[in-house]
Protein backbone atom coordinates (compact mmCIF):
# COMPACT_ATOMS: atom_id res chain seq x y z
CA UNK A 1 0.00 0.00 0.00
CA UNK A 2 1.39 3.40 -0.83
CA UNK A 3 2.26 5.81 1.93
CA UNK A 4 0.54 9.17 2.10
CA UNK A 5 3.44 10.81 0.31
CA UNK A 6 3.46 8.05 -2.24
CA UNK A 7 -0.29 8.37 -2.62
CA UNK A 8 0.19 12.08 -3.19
CA UNK A 9 2.68 11.25 -5.90
CA UNK A 10 0.21 8.81 -7.41
CA UNK A 11 -2.53 11.39 -7.27
CA UNK A 12 -0.21 13.85 -8.91
CA UNK A 13 0.52 11.27 -11.56
CA UNK A 14 -3.17 10.65 -12.11
CA UNK A 15 -3.73 14.36 -12.34
CA UNK A 16 -1.00 14.71 -14.88
CA UNK A 17 -2.39 11.75 -16.77
CA UNK A 18 -5.78 13.40 -16.92
CA UNK A 19 -4.16 16.63 -18.01
CA UNK A 20 -2.37 14.80 -20.78
CA UNK A 21 -5.56 13.09 -21.81
CA UNK A 22 -7.37 16.39 -21.88
CA UNK A 23 -4.59 17.90 -23.96
CA UNK A 24 -4.68 14.97 -26.30
CA UNK A 25 -8.40 15.15 -26.84
CA UNK A 26 -8.52 18.91 -27.12
CA UNK A 27 -5.67 19.08 -29.57
CA UNK A 28 -6.92 16.12 -31.48
CA UNK A 29 -3.49 14.59 -31.24
CA UNK A 30 -3.31 10.86 -31.34
CA UNK A 31 -0.72 8.51 -32.67
CA UNK A 32 -1.45 5.11 -34.04
CA UNK A 33 1.07 3.24 -36.16
CA UNK A 34 0.08 2.76 -39.74
CA UNK A 35 0.97 -0.89 -39.70
CA UNK A 36 -1.64 -1.36 -37.01
CA UNK A 37 -4.36 0.88 -38.38
CA UNK A 38 -4.18 -0.89 -41.67
CA UNK A 39 -5.11 -4.22 -40.20
CA UNK A 40 -6.80 -3.55 -36.90
CA UNK A 41 -9.55 -1.23 -35.70
CA UNK A 42 -8.41 1.78 -33.70
CA UNK A 43 -8.58 1.33 -29.94
CA UNK A 44 -11.64 3.54 -29.60
CA UNK A 45 -13.60 1.55 -32.11
CA UNK A 46 -17.02 0.19 -31.07
CA UNK A 47 -16.88 -2.91 -28.95
CA UNK A 48 -18.26 -5.14 -31.66
CA UNK A 49 -15.21 -4.35 -33.76
CA UNK A 50 -13.04 -5.92 -31.10
CA UNK A 51 -14.54 -9.36 -30.74
CA UNK A 52 -12.67 -10.58 -27.72
CA UNK A 53 -12.04 -7.39 -25.84
CA UNK A 54 -13.23 -7.15 -22.30
CA UNK A 55 -14.95 -4.03 -21.07
CA UNK A 56 -11.87 -3.03 -19.17
CA UNK A 57 -9.93 -2.67 -22.34
CA UNK A 58 -12.61 -0.47 -23.82
CA UNK A 59 -12.75 1.67 -20.69
CA UNK A 60 -8.99 1.76 -20.60
CA UNK A 61 -8.75 2.99 -24.14
CA UNK A 62 -11.45 5.55 -23.44
CA UNK A 63 -9.50 6.99 -20.55
CA UNK A 64 -5.91 6.81 -21.64
CA UNK A 65 -3.84 7.74 -24.56
CA UNK A 66 -3.29 4.42 -26.22
CA UNK A 67 -0.34 4.62 -28.53
CA UNK A 68 -0.27 1.07 -29.79
CA UNK A 69 -2.28 -2.06 -29.37
CA UNK A 70 -1.70 -5.73 -29.99
CA UNK A 71 -3.86 -8.78 -29.66
CA UNK A 72 -3.17 -12.43 -29.13
CA UNK A 73 -5.97 -13.68 -31.33
CA UNK A 74 -5.00 -12.88 -34.86
CA UNK A 75 -4.36 -9.17 -34.66
CA UNK A 76 -1.03 -7.45 -35.03
CA UNK A 77 1.49 -7.36 -32.25
CA UNK A 78 3.62 -4.68 -30.76
CA UNK A 79 6.91 -4.39 -32.59
CA UNK A 80 8.88 -5.12 -29.45
CA UNK A 81 6.96 -8.25 -28.62
CA UNK A 82 7.00 -11.58 -30.31
CA UNK A 83 4.68 -14.46 -29.75
CA UNK A 84 5.54 -17.71 -28.15
CA UNK A 85 3.04 -20.50 -27.92
CA UNK A 86 1.63 -19.15 -24.71
CA UNK A 87 2.90 -15.67 -24.02
CA UNK A 88 4.14 -12.42 -25.34
CA UNK A 89 7.80 -12.02 -24.58
CA UNK A 90 9.95 -8.92 -24.63
CA UNK A 91 12.87 -8.97 -27.00
CA UNK A 92 14.85 -5.82 -26.31
CA UNK A 93 18.55 -5.38 -26.70
CA UNK A 94 19.38 -4.52 -23.14
CA UNK A 95 20.88 -7.14 -20.92
CA UNK A 96 19.74 -7.34 -17.37
CA UNK A 97 21.33 -9.63 -14.91
CA UNK A 98 18.72 -12.18 -14.04
CA UNK A 99 18.48 -13.61 -10.62
CA UNK A 100 19.86 -17.08 -10.34
CA UNK A 101 17.78 -19.42 -8.28
CA UNK A 102 19.79 -22.00 -6.50
CA UNK A 103 18.99 -25.67 -6.44
CA UNK A 104 16.07 -26.14 -4.12
CA UNK A 105 15.42 -28.94 -1.74
CA UNK A 106 12.25 -30.53 -2.98
CA UNK A 107 11.97 -33.18 -0.32
CA UNK A 108 8.68 -33.11 1.50
CA UNK A 109 7.07 -30.52 -0.67
CA UNK A 110 6.37 -32.48 -3.83
CA UNK A 111 3.09 -33.97 -2.68
CA UNK A 112 1.82 -30.61 -1.59
CA UNK A 113 3.04 -28.86 -4.69
CA UNK A 114 1.55 -31.45 -7.02
CA UNK A 115 -1.87 -30.24 -5.98
CA UNK A 116 -1.08 -26.86 -7.48
CA UNK A 117 -0.07 -28.23 -10.83
CA UNK A 118 -3.55 -29.05 -12.01
CA UNK A 119 -4.87 -25.73 -10.89
CA UNK A 120 -2.07 -23.91 -12.66
CA UNK A 121 -2.52 -25.79 -15.90
CA UNK A 122 -5.00 -23.83 -17.91
CA UNK A 123 -6.16 -22.78 -21.31
CA UNK A 124 -4.79 -19.40 -22.32
CA UNK A 125 -7.35 -16.65 -22.54
CA UNK A 126 -7.15 -14.15 -25.39
CA UNK A 127 -4.89 -11.22 -24.70
CA UNK A 128 -4.81 -7.61 -25.65
CA UNK A 129 -1.99 -5.14 -25.13
CA UNK A 130 -2.02 -1.39 -24.77
CA UNK A 131 0.95 0.89 -24.97
CA UNK A 132 0.38 4.20 -23.23
CA UNK A 133 2.44 7.14 -22.13
CA UNK A 134 1.89 7.64 -18.43
CA UNK A 135 3.63 8.60 -15.23
CA UNK A 136 1.66 6.04 -13.27
CA UNK A 137 2.08 2.32 -13.71
CA UNK A 138 -1.45 1.21 -13.00
CA UNK A 139 -3.87 3.20 -15.08
CA UNK A 140 -7.50 3.25 -14.05
CA UNK A 141 -9.68 1.15 -16.32
CA UNK A 142 -12.73 1.10 -14.07
CA UNK A 143 -11.99 -2.25 -12.49
CA UNK A 144 -10.37 -3.11 -9.20
CA UNK A 145 -7.17 -5.13 -9.34
CA UNK A 146 -5.08 -7.00 -6.81
CA UNK A 147 -1.39 -7.43 -7.36
CA UNK A 148 -0.28 -11.03 -7.04
CA UNK A 149 3.26 -10.92 -8.34
CA UNK A 150 6.13 -8.91 -9.64
CA UNK A 151 9.00 -10.13 -11.70
CA UNK A 152 12.09 -8.72 -13.31
CA UNK A 153 12.06 -10.35 -16.71
CA UNK A 154 15.16 -10.82 -18.77
CA UNK A 155 16.27 -8.04 -21.12
CA UNK A 156 14.08 -5.50 -19.40
CA UNK A 157 15.07 -2.74 -17.03
CA UNK A 158 11.76 -2.49 -15.22
CA UNK A 159 9.90 -5.16 -13.26
CA UNK A 160 6.68 -6.58 -14.63
CA UNK A 161 3.69 -6.53 -12.29
CA UNK A 162 0.90 -9.07 -12.33
CA UNK A 163 -2.65 -8.14 -11.34
CA UNK A 164 -5.87 -10.10 -10.98
CA UNK A 165 -9.40 -8.74 -10.92
CA UNK A 166 -10.61 -8.68 -7.31
CA UNK A 167 -14.16 -9.63 -8.26
CA UNK A 168 -15.17 -13.15 -7.29
CA UNK A 169 -15.39 -15.63 -10.15
CA UNK A 170 -13.59 -13.22 -12.45
CA UNK A 171 -10.30 -14.58 -13.62
CA UNK A 172 -9.21 -11.61 -15.68
CA UNK A 173 -5.56 -10.74 -15.31
CA UNK A 174 -3.40 -7.93 -16.45
CA UNK A 175 0.32 -7.35 -16.66
CA UNK A 176 1.94 -3.97 -16.42
CA UNK A 177 5.48 -3.08 -17.32
CA UNK A 178 7.45 -0.08 -18.46
CA UNK A 179 9.30 0.03 -21.70
CA UNK A 180 13.06 -0.17 -21.30
CA UNK A 181 13.83 2.19 -24.17
CA UNK A 182 11.30 4.74 -22.96
CA UNK A 183 10.29 4.53 -19.28
CA UNK A 184 7.42 6.91 -19.95
CA UNK A 185 5.72 4.15 -21.90
CA UNK A 186 3.57 1.67 -20.02
CA UNK A 187 2.66 -1.68 -21.53
CA UNK A 188 -0.60 -3.08 -20.18
CA UNK A 189 -1.68 -6.57 -21.23
CA UNK A 190 -5.11 -7.92 -20.43
CA UNK A 191 -5.93 -11.60 -20.38
CA UNK A 192 -9.49 -12.87 -20.26
CA UNK A 193 -12.88 -11.30 -20.18
CA UNK A 194 -14.68 -9.73 -17.22
CA UNK A 195 -17.86 -11.54 -16.18
CA UNK A 196 -19.20 -8.42 -14.45
CA UNK A 197 -19.55 -4.68 -14.76
CA UNK A 198 -16.90 -2.25 -13.58
CA UNK A 199 -17.34 -1.60 -9.85
CA UNK A 200 -16.82 2.11 -10.19
CA UNK A 201 -16.19 4.82 -12.72
CA UNK A 202 -14.17 7.97 -12.50
CA UNK A 203 -16.41 10.95 -12.19
CA UNK A 204 -14.67 12.59 -15.09
CA UNK A 205 -14.62 9.54 -17.28
CA UNK A 206 -17.72 10.68 -19.09
CA UNK A 207 -15.99 13.91 -19.97
CA UNK A 208 -13.02 12.05 -21.34
CA UNK A 209 -15.29 9.68 -23.17
CA UNK A 210 -17.23 12.49 -24.75
CA UNK A 211 -14.02 14.17 -25.80
CA UNK A 212 -12.92 11.01 -27.46
CA UNK A 213 -16.27 10.39 -29.04
CA UNK A 214 -16.13 13.87 -30.47
CA UNK A 215 -12.68 13.24 -31.77
CA UNK A 216 -13.54 9.93 -33.39
Partner DNA sequence: CGACTTTGACCGGCGC
Partner DNA sequence: GCGCCGGTCAAAGTCG
* Neighbour-count burial for 191-205, b at 16+ CB within 10 Å, e otherwise: bbbbeeebeeebeeb
Of 75 and 90, nearer to DNA (C-beta) is 90
Among 48-56, 61-69, 70-78, 119-127, which window interacts with DNA (CB under 7 A)?
119-127
Q: Does residue 1 belong to the site contacting DNA (CB under 7 A)? A: yes
Q: Does residue 86 belong to the site contacting DNA (CB under 7 A)? A: yes
The beta strand positions in the chain, using DSSP E, are 66-71, 81-83, 88-90, 127-133, 145-151, 160-165, 173-178, 185-191
Window 13-42: residues binding DNA (CB under 7 A): none
Q: Three-state secondary structure along 112-130?
A: HHHHHHHHHCCCCCCEEEE
Q: Does residue 82 belong to the site contacting DNA (CB under 7 A)? A: no
Of 27 and 119, nearer to DNA (C-beta) is 119
Please tell me the chain's helix, strand, coil percentages from 3-state DSSP, rounded to the nearest 5.
30, 20, 50
**Out of 37, 98, 197, 206, the residue judged to bind DNA by CB under 7 A:** 98
Applying CB under 7 A, which residues contact DNA?
Answer: 1-4, 7, 84-90, 98, 100-101, 104-106, 109-110, 113-114, 116-117, 119-121, 144-151, 153-155, 160-162, 166, 173, 175
Amino acid sequence: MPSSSHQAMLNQGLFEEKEKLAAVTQMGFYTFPQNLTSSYPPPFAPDHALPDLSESETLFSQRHRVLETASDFGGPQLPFLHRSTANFRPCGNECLESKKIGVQDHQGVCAMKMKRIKARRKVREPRFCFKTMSDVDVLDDGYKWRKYGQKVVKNTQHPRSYYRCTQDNCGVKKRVERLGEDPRMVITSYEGRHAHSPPHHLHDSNDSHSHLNNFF
